[in-house]
Amino acid sequence: MNATLTHFMELPADLSEKARTVPGLQERLLRFIKMEVAMNERRQQRYSPEALTLVKRARALAEKRKADGIDRAEGMMAFERNFSVITEAL
């Protein structure tokens, strides 16, 4: 399946028009995406499924706290707790 950038993100119209005028942008974006995919594949192989699950849960919790308006200091304390749980599981 071929995908376009709009499958992943939506660019504002004015930015999209300006981006079309940048020479070589498509090739650079493609190279960047290939590198990101390769790094993600290496990360997926490096960590256990359990560790990845813990990271997903920690990210979801961080997003919820952010949405709930919890301040940075509280978020940092939560991060440190989550980090301890993750490292102990490794």
- DSSP for 49-75, written as a single string: HHHHHHHHHHHHHHHHHHHTT--HHHH
Q: With 90 as the cut, is the pLDDT of residue 49 above it? A: no
The C-alpha atoms of residue 48 and residue 44 are separated, in whole angstroms, by 8
pLDDT given for residue 1 in this prediction: 54
* Full-model pTM: 0.46
Q: With 80 as the cut, is the pLDDT of residue 5 above it? A: no
pLDDT given for residue 31 in this prediction: 96
Domain ranges (residues) in the chain: 11-46, 48-90
Tokens encoding 58:
């920690």
Q: With 80 as the cut, is the pLDDT of residue 84 above it? A: yes
The C-alpha atoms of residue 10 and residue 76 are separated, in whole angstroms, by 31
